[in-house]
Protein backbone atom coordinates (compact mmCIF):
# COMPACT_ATOMS: atom_id res chain seq x y z
CA UNK A 1 0.00 0.00 0.00
CA UNK A 2 2.94 2.33 0.56
CA UNK A 3 3.68 2.07 -3.17
CA UNK A 4 0.11 3.07 -4.01
CA UNK A 5 0.37 6.14 -1.79
CA UNK A 6 3.74 6.99 -3.33
CA UNK A 7 2.24 6.73 -6.82
CA UNK A 8 -0.59 9.08 -5.90
CA UNK A 9 1.96 11.58 -4.60
CA UNK A 10 3.90 11.28 -7.86
CA UNK A 11 0.71 12.00 -9.79
CA UNK A 12 0.27 15.19 -7.80
CA UNK A 13 3.87 16.20 -8.38
CA UNK A 14 3.47 15.76 -12.12
CA UNK A 15 0.18 17.68 -12.25
CA UNK A 16 1.18 20.61 -10.06
CA UNK A 17 3.72 22.23 -12.45
CA UNK A 18 1.25 22.10 -15.30
CA UNK A 19 -1.49 24.04 -13.50
CA UNK A 20 0.45 27.25 -14.20
CA UNK A 21 -0.59 27.08 -17.85
CA UNK A 22 -2.57 30.13 -18.82
CA UNK A 23 -6.28 29.88 -19.56
CA UNK A 24 -5.44 30.80 -23.14
CA UNK A 25 -3.27 27.68 -23.50
CA UNK A 26 -5.87 25.46 -21.87
CA UNK A 27 -8.66 26.74 -24.12
CA UNK A 28 -6.63 27.18 -27.27
CA UNK A 29 -7.38 23.73 -28.64
CA UNK A 30 -10.78 22.19 -29.07
CA UNK A 31 -9.86 18.55 -29.81
CA UNK A 32 -8.64 16.47 -26.81
CA UNK A 33 -9.71 12.82 -26.99
CA UNK A 34 -7.59 9.99 -28.38
CA UNK A 35 -7.68 6.20 -28.43
CA UNK A 36 -4.69 3.87 -28.63
CA UNK A 37 -4.33 0.13 -29.04
CA UNK A 38 -1.10 -1.64 -28.15
CA UNK A 39 0.55 -5.01 -27.84
CA UNK A 40 3.90 -6.28 -26.60
CA UNK A 41 5.79 -8.39 -24.14
CA UNK A 42 5.46 -8.90 -20.40
CA UNK A 43 7.92 -9.93 -17.73
CA UNK A 44 6.26 -10.94 -14.42
CA UNK A 45 7.85 -11.91 -11.12
CA UNK A 46 5.08 -13.83 -9.42
CA UNK A 47 5.55 -15.89 -6.27
CA UNK A 48 6.77 -18.51 -6.38
CA UNK A 49 9.20 -17.05 -8.91
CA UNK A 50 10.36 -19.37 -11.66
CA UNK A 51 13.78 -17.68 -11.67
CA UNK A 52 13.93 -18.17 -15.42
CA UNK A 53 13.82 -15.19 -17.73
CA UNK A 54 12.14 -17.09 -20.52
CA UNK A 55 9.56 -18.67 -18.23
CA UNK A 56 8.80 -15.26 -16.69
CA UNK A 57 8.21 -13.68 -20.14
CA UNK A 58 4.90 -13.69 -21.95
CA UNK A 59 2.71 -11.29 -23.94
CA UNK A 60 -0.07 -8.77 -23.48
CA UNK A 61 -2.45 -6.52 -25.38
CA UNK A 62 -4.49 -3.50 -24.37
CA UNK A 63 -5.76 -0.06 -25.07
CA UNK A 64 -5.86 3.45 -23.65
CA UNK A 65 -8.55 6.12 -23.85
CA UNK A 66 -6.96 9.47 -23.07
CA UNK A 67 -8.11 13.07 -22.61
CA UNK A 68 -5.20 15.45 -23.15
CA UNK A 69 -6.11 18.63 -21.29
CA UNK A 70 -3.36 20.86 -22.69
CA UNK A 71 0.03 20.44 -24.43
CA UNK A 72 1.64 19.46 -21.10
CA UNK A 73 -0.59 16.90 -19.46
CA UNK A 74 -3.67 14.75 -19.55
CA UNK A 75 -5.25 11.71 -17.98
CA UNK A 76 -6.74 8.48 -19.20
CA UNK A 77 -8.09 4.98 -18.71
CA UNK A 78 -6.07 1.88 -19.57
CA UNK A 79 -7.32 -1.68 -20.04
CA UNK A 80 -4.70 -4.41 -20.55
CA UNK A 81 -4.87 -8.20 -20.85
CA UNK A 82 -1.52 -9.50 -19.58
CA UNK A 83 -0.28 -13.09 -19.47
CA UNK A 84 2.37 -14.46 -17.06
CA UNK A 85 3.88 -17.68 -15.78
CA UNK A 86 4.18 -18.78 -12.16
CA UNK A 87 6.54 -21.28 -10.68
CA UNK A 88 6.66 -24.65 -12.35
CA UNK A 89 5.53 -22.92 -15.55
CA UNK A 90 1.93 -22.54 -14.37
CA UNK A 91 0.02 -20.08 -16.56
CA UNK A 92 -1.77 -16.98 -15.32
CA UNK A 93 -3.40 -13.88 -16.66
CA UNK A 94 -4.68 -10.55 -15.37
CA UNK A 95 -7.07 -7.95 -16.70
CA UNK A 96 -5.67 -4.63 -15.46
CA UNK A 97 -7.96 -1.59 -15.41
CA UNK A 98 -6.22 1.60 -14.37
CA UNK A 99 -6.37 5.39 -14.25
CA UNK A 100 -3.24 7.31 -15.10
CA UNK A 101 -1.85 10.78 -15.60
CA UNK A 102 0.51 11.58 -18.48
CA UNK A 103 2.98 14.47 -18.73
CA UNK A 104 4.67 15.45 -22.00
CA UNK A 105 8.22 15.90 -20.74
CA UNK A 106 9.42 17.21 -24.11
CA UNK A 107 6.89 20.08 -23.99
CA UNK A 108 7.66 20.65 -20.31
CA UNK A 109 11.45 20.84 -20.69
CA UNK A 110 11.81 22.19 -24.25
CA UNK A 111 8.74 24.26 -25.25
CA UNK A 112 10.80 26.49 -27.58
CA UNK A 113 12.33 23.71 -29.64
CA UNK A 114 12.47 24.23 -33.40
CA UNK A 115 12.55 20.57 -34.49
CA UNK A 116 10.02 17.80 -33.86
CA UNK A 117 7.29 20.23 -32.88
CA UNK A 118 4.65 17.50 -32.68
CA UNK A 119 4.74 14.29 -30.70
CA UNK A 120 6.52 13.95 -27.40
CA UNK A 121 8.15 11.94 -24.65
CA UNK A 122 5.63 11.09 -21.94
CA UNK A 123 5.99 10.15 -18.28
CA UNK A 124 3.05 8.20 -16.90
CA UNK A 125 1.93 7.34 -13.36
CA UNK A 126 -1.26 5.67 -12.27
CA UNK A 127 -3.15 3.20 -10.13
CA UNK A 128 -5.70 0.51 -10.83
CA UNK A 129 -7.09 -2.92 -10.16
CA UNK A 130 -6.06 -6.25 -11.65
CA UNK A 131 -8.50 -9.14 -12.00
CA UNK A 132 -6.27 -12.21 -12.15
CA UNK A 133 -6.65 -15.94 -12.54
CA UNK A 134 -3.96 -18.64 -12.14
CA UNK A 135 -3.90 -22.38 -12.83
CA UNK A 136 -2.54 -24.09 -9.70
CA UNK A 137 -2.67 -27.89 -9.50
CA UNK A 138 -5.42 -28.02 -12.10
CA UNK A 139 -7.45 -25.53 -10.10
CA UNK A 140 -8.18 -22.01 -11.30
CA UNK A 141 -7.64 -19.45 -8.57
CA UNK A 142 -8.99 -15.95 -9.09
CA UNK A 143 -8.70 -12.69 -7.22
CA UNK A 144 -8.15 -8.97 -7.40
CA UNK A 145 -5.04 -6.95 -6.74
CA UNK A 146 -4.44 -3.22 -6.54
CA UNK A 147 -1.50 -2.04 -8.56
CA UNK A 148 0.52 1.11 -9.12
CA UNK A 149 2.37 1.87 -12.30
CA UNK A 150 5.04 4.23 -13.60
CA UNK A 151 6.28 4.38 -17.14
CA UNK A 152 7.67 6.31 -20.04
CA UNK A 153 6.45 6.54 -23.63
CA UNK A 154 7.44 8.01 -26.96
CA UNK A 155 4.93 9.19 -29.58
CA UNK A 156 5.76 9.86 -33.24
CA UNK A 157 2.98 11.47 -35.33
CA UNK A 158 2.18 9.99 -38.73
CA UNK A 159 -0.41 12.68 -39.53
CA UNK A 160 -2.75 15.00 -37.68
CA UNK A 161 -4.94 11.99 -36.85
CA UNK A 162 -2.62 8.99 -36.45
CA UNK A 163 0.54 8.42 -34.41
CA UNK A 164 2.81 5.52 -33.50
CA UNK A 165 3.68 5.16 -29.85
CA UNK A 166 5.75 2.92 -27.68
CA UNK A 167 5.78 2.70 -23.89
CA UNK A 168 7.31 0.71 -21.08
CA UNK A 169 5.70 0.38 -17.65
CA UNK A 170 6.63 -1.00 -14.29
CA UNK A 171 3.71 -2.32 -12.24
CA UNK A 172 3.66 -3.37 -8.62
CA UNK A 173 0.77 -5.52 -7.35
CA UNK A 174 -0.65 -5.76 -3.84
CA UNK A 175 -3.42 -8.27 -3.10
CA UNK A 176 -5.17 -8.89 0.21
CA UNK A 177 -5.76 -12.49 -0.89
CA UNK A 178 -2.16 -13.39 -1.57
CA UNK A 179 -0.01 -13.29 -4.69
CA UNK A 180 -1.00 -13.51 -8.34
CA UNK A 181 0.39 -17.03 -8.27
CA UNK A 182 -2.24 -18.23 -5.82
CA UNK A 183 0.02 -18.31 -2.77
CA UNK A 184 -0.72 -16.50 0.45
CA UNK A 185 2.42 -14.40 0.50
CA UNK A 186 4.91 -13.03 -1.98
CA UNK A 187 5.97 -10.01 -3.99
CA UNK A 188 4.47 -9.54 -7.45
CA UNK A 189 5.60 -6.99 -10.02
CA UNK A 190 5.89 -6.78 -13.77
CA UNK A 191 7.26 -4.96 -16.79
CA UNK A 192 5.06 -4.33 -19.80
CA UNK A 193 6.63 -2.98 -23.02
CA UNK A 194 4.40 -2.38 -26.03
CA UNK A 195 4.03 -0.69 -29.40
CA UNK A 196 0.76 0.77 -30.56
CA UNK A 197 -1.24 3.01 -32.86
CA UNK A 198 -3.08 6.10 -31.60
CA UNK A 199 -6.10 7.76 -33.22
CA UNK A 200 -6.68 11.43 -32.31
CA UNK A 201 -10.36 12.28 -32.68
CA UNK A 202 -11.45 15.31 -34.77
CA UNK A 203 -7.83 16.14 -35.56
CA UNK A 204 -8.58 16.76 -39.26
CA UNK A 205 -11.25 19.37 -38.52
CA UNK A 206 -9.42 21.24 -35.74
CA UNK A 207 -6.07 21.28 -33.98
CA UNK A 208 -5.48 18.45 -31.54
CA UNK A 209 -3.70 19.18 -28.27
CA UNK A 210 -1.25 16.31 -28.75
CA UNK A 211 -0.01 17.97 -31.97
CA UNK A 212 0.93 21.26 -30.31
CA UNK A 213 3.44 22.86 -27.99
CA UNK A 214 2.62 25.14 -25.05
CA UNK A 215 2.33 28.83 -25.77
CA UNK A 216 5.50 30.67 -24.77
CA UNK A 217 6.38 34.33 -24.49
CA UNK A 218 8.02 34.16 -27.93
CA UNK A 219 4.88 32.60 -29.40
CA UNK A 220 2.82 35.45 -27.97
CA UNK A 221 5.26 38.04 -29.31
CA UNK A 222 5.23 36.46 -32.77
CA UNK A 223 1.42 36.34 -32.72
CA UNK A 224 1.30 40.02 -31.79
CA UNK A 225 3.72 40.81 -34.60
CA UNK A 226 1.53 38.94 -37.08
CA UNK A 227 -1.54 40.80 -35.84
CA UNK A 228 0.32 44.11 -36.10
CA UNK A 229 1.37 43.37 -39.68
CA UNK A 230 -2.24 42.52 -40.57
CA UNK A 231 -3.43 45.77 -39.01
CA UNK A 232 -0.77 47.73 -40.90
CA UNK A 233 -1.79 46.07 -44.16
CA UNK A 234 -5.45 46.93 -43.55
CA UNK A 235 -4.52 50.52 -42.63
CA UNK A 236 -2.43 50.88 -45.80
CA UNK A 237 -5.23 49.43 -47.90
CA UNK A 238 -7.78 51.73 -46.29
CA UNK A 239 -5.51 54.74 -46.74
CA UNK A 240 -5.10 53.90 -50.43
CA UNK A 241 -8.85 53.56 -50.82
CA UNK A 242 -9.39 56.90 -49.09
CA UNK A 243 -6.86 58.57 -51.39
CA UNK A 244 -8.56 57.12 -54.44
CA UNK A 245 -11.94 58.23 -53.14
CA UNK A 246 -10.63 61.75 -52.48
CA UNK A 247 -9.29 61.98 -56.02
CA UNK A 248 -12.60 60.81 -57.44
CA UNK A 249 -14.53 63.29 -55.28
CA UNK A 250 -12.22 66.13 -56.33
CA UNK A 251 -12.62 65.16 -59.99
CA UNK A 252 -16.39 65.06 -59.60
CA UNK A 253 -16.40 68.44 -57.86
CA UNK A 254 -14.29 70.02 -60.59
CA UNK A 255 -16.49 68.52 -63.29
CA UNK A 256 -19.64 69.73 -61.53
CA UNK A 257 -18.15 73.21 -61.17
CA UNK A 258 -17.39 73.28 -64.90
CA UNK A 259 -20.92 72.08 -65.69
CA UNK A 260 -22.42 74.70 -63.40
CA UNK A 261 -20.33 77.44 -65.01
CA UNK A 262 -21.37 76.30 -68.50
CA UNK A 263 -25.00 76.12 -67.44
CA UNK A 264 -24.84 79.59 -65.92
CA UNK A 265 -23.32 80.97 -69.10
CA UNK A 266 -26.20 79.55 -71.14
CA UNK A 267 -28.75 81.01 -68.72
CA UNK A 268 -27.01 84.38 -68.94
CA UNK A 269 -27.20 84.25 -72.75
CA UNK A 270 -30.90 83.48 -72.51
CA UNK A 271 -31.43 86.35 -70.04
CA UNK A 272 -29.60 88.72 -72.38
CA UNK A 273 -31.89 87.70 -75.23
CA UNK A 274 -34.95 88.25 -73.07
CA UNK A 275 -33.75 91.69 -72.09
CA UNK A 276 -32.78 92.73 -75.64
CA UNK A 277 -35.87 91.10 -77.27
CA UNK A 278 -33.96 90.58 -80.46
CA UNK A 279 -33.43 87.59 -82.70
CA UNK A 280 -30.14 86.07 -81.67
CA UNK A 281 -28.19 83.13 -82.91
CA UNK A 282 -29.51 79.92 -81.39
CA UNK A 283 -28.17 79.12 -77.89
CA UNK A 284 -26.74 75.62 -77.52
CA UNK A 285 -28.10 74.20 -74.24
CA UNK A 286 -25.40 71.64 -73.48
CA UNK A 287 -26.61 71.30 -69.87
CA UNK A 288 -29.70 69.50 -71.20
CA UNK A 289 -28.85 65.81 -71.66
CA UNK A 290 -30.79 62.70 -72.65
CA UNK A 291 -30.40 59.01 -71.97
CA UNK A 292 -28.56 57.00 -74.63
CA UNK A 293 -30.61 56.58 -77.82
CA UNK A 294 -33.65 57.95 -75.99
CA UNK A 295 -35.70 61.15 -75.68
CA UNK A 296 -35.89 60.77 -71.88
CA UNK A 297 -34.27 63.67 -69.99
CA UNK A 298 -31.58 62.87 -67.44
CA UNK A 299 -32.09 63.90 -63.82
CA UNK A 300 -29.19 66.38 -64.13
CA UNK A 301 -31.11 68.30 -66.83
CA UNK A 302 -34.08 69.20 -64.62
CA UNK A 303 -32.35 71.95 -62.54
CA UNK A 304 -31.26 73.72 -65.75
CA UNK A 305 -34.77 73.59 -67.19
CA UNK A 306 -36.22 74.89 -63.92
CA UNK A 307 -33.96 77.93 -64.07
CA UNK A 308 -34.79 78.49 -67.76
CA UNK A 309 -38.51 78.33 -66.95
CA UNK A 310 -38.08 80.91 -64.17
CA UNK A 311 -36.35 83.32 -66.59
CA UNK A 312 -39.00 82.83 -69.28
CA UNK A 313 -41.88 83.29 -66.84
CA UNK A 314 -40.29 86.37 -65.27
CA UNK A 315 -40.04 88.15 -68.66
CA UNK A 316 -43.15 87.80 -70.81
CA UNK A 317 -42.03 90.23 -73.58
CA UNK A 318 -41.17 87.38 -75.94
CA UNK A 319 -43.65 85.85 -78.32
CA UNK A 320 -42.04 82.56 -79.40
CA UNK A 321 -39.40 80.10 -78.22
CA UNK A 322 -38.10 77.71 -80.86
CA UNK A 323 -36.58 74.47 -79.50
CA UNK A 324 -34.51 72.62 -82.08
CA UNK A 325 -33.21 69.10 -81.55
CA UNK A 326 -30.05 67.79 -83.23
CA UNK A 327 -28.27 64.42 -83.39
CA UNK A 328 -24.95 63.09 -84.62
CA UNK A 329 -24.72 61.03 -87.80
CA UNK A 330 -24.91 57.65 -86.01
CA UNK A 331 -27.96 55.82 -87.39
CA UNK A 332 -30.26 56.40 -90.35
CA UNK A 333 -31.66 59.81 -91.32
CA UNK A 334 -35.21 58.74 -90.53
CA UNK A 335 -34.24 57.59 -87.02
CA UNK A 336 -32.19 60.73 -86.34
CA UNK A 337 -34.92 63.06 -87.57
CA UNK A 338 -37.50 61.35 -85.39
CA UNK A 339 -35.21 61.25 -82.32
CA UNK A 340 -34.23 64.92 -82.65
CA UNK A 341 -37.90 66.01 -82.75
CA UNK A 342 -38.79 63.73 -79.83
CA UNK A 343 -36.03 65.29 -77.72
CA UNK A 344 -37.25 68.79 -78.53
CA UNK A 345 -40.77 67.70 -77.56
CA UNK A 346 -39.46 66.32 -74.24
CA UNK A 347 -37.92 69.69 -73.41
CA UNK A 348 -41.18 71.46 -74.34
CA UNK A 349 -43.23 69.17 -72.09
CA UNK A 350 -40.97 69.87 -69.15
CA UNK A 351 -41.10 73.64 -69.70
CA UNK A 352 -44.91 73.53 -69.98
CA UNK A 353 -45.01 71.55 -66.72
CA UNK A 354 -42.97 74.35 -65.17
CA UNK A 355 -45.49 77.02 -66.28
CA UNK A 356 -44.23 78.20 -69.68
CA UNK A 357 -47.20 78.68 -72.10
CA UNK A 358 -47.36 75.79 -74.58
CA UNK A 359 -48.76 77.92 -77.40
CA UNK A 360 -45.61 80.05 -77.39
CA UNK A 361 -43.21 77.10 -77.85
CA UNK A 362 -42.33 75.62 -81.22
CA UNK A 363 -40.34 72.38 -81.66
CA UNK A 364 -38.18 71.43 -84.63
CA UNK A 365 -36.11 68.32 -85.33
CA UNK A 366 -33.17 68.65 -87.73
CA UNK A 367 -31.56 65.25 -87.19
CA UNK A 368 -27.89 65.21 -88.24
CA UNK A 369 -28.23 67.86 -90.97
CA UNK A 370 -26.64 70.75 -89.08
CA UNK A 371 -23.50 69.60 -87.18
CA UNK A 372 -21.39 72.11 -85.25
CA UNK A 373 -18.42 69.74 -84.86
CA UNK A 374 -16.90 66.76 -86.64
CA UNK A 375 -18.71 63.46 -86.44
CA UNK A 376 -15.40 61.56 -86.69
CA UNK A 377 -14.63 61.76 -82.95
CA UNK A 378 -16.55 60.89 -79.81
CA UNK A 379 -16.23 64.45 -78.49
CA UNK A 380 -17.45 65.90 -81.77
CA UNK A 381 -20.46 63.61 -81.92
CA UNK A 382 -21.29 64.56 -78.32
CA UNK A 383 -21.37 68.24 -79.28
CA UNK A 384 -23.65 67.51 -82.24
CA UNK A 385 -26.18 65.74 -79.97
CA UNK A 386 -27.70 68.96 -78.65
CA UNK A 387 -30.76 71.12 -78.07
CA UNK A 388 -30.83 74.78 -79.18
CA UNK A 389 -33.08 77.60 -77.95
CA UNK A 390 -33.97 80.70 -80.05
CA UNK A 391 -36.20 83.54 -78.89
CA UNK A 392 -38.14 85.96 -81.08
CA UNK A 393 -40.75 88.71 -80.65
Residue ranges and CATH numbers for the domains of the chain are: 2-211 (2.40.160.20), 267-392 (3.30.1330.60)
pLDDT of residue 274: 61
pLDDT of residue 29: 52
CB 355 within 8 A of CB 344: no
**Rounded distance, CA 292 to CA 134, Å?**
101
pLDDT of residue 216: 54
**Rounded distance, CA 350 to CA 337, Å?**
21
**Reduced to 3 states, what is the DSSP secondary structure of residue 30?**
coil
**Extended strands (E) in the chain:** 33-45, 57-68, 73-85, 91-104, 120-136, 139-157, 162-174, 188-200, 283-284, 320-325, 361-365, 387-392
Complete edge-to-edge strand list for the sheet that includes strand 387-392:
283-284, 387-392, 320-325, 361-365
pLDDT of residue 114: 73
pLDDT of residue 195: 97
**Rounded distance, CA 98 to CA 323, Å?**
102
pLDDT of residue 207: 82
**Rounded distance, CA 270 to CA 322, Å?**
12
Can you list the residues of the chain whose pLDDT is less than 50?
A: 1-20, 22-27, 277
**Rounded distance, CA 119 to CA 124, Å?**
15
pLDDT of residue 9: 40
How do 361-365 and 320-325 pair as beta strands?
A: parallel
pLDDT of residue 35: 97
pLDDT of residue 291: 80
pTM of the model: 0.51
CA-based radius of gyration for the chain: 48
pLDDT of residue 175: 78
Amino acid sequence: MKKLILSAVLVGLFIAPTTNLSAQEAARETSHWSLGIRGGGTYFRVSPNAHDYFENSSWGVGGVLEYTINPLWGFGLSVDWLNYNCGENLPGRTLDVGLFSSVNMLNLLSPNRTGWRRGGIYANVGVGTGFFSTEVQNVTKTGTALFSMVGVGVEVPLSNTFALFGDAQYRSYASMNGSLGGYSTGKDDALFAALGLRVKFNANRRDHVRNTRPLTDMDAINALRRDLRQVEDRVNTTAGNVDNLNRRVNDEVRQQQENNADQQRQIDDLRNQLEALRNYQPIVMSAIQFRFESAELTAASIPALEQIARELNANQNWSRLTITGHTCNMGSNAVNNRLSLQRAESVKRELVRLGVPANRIETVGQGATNPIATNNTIAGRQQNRRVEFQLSR
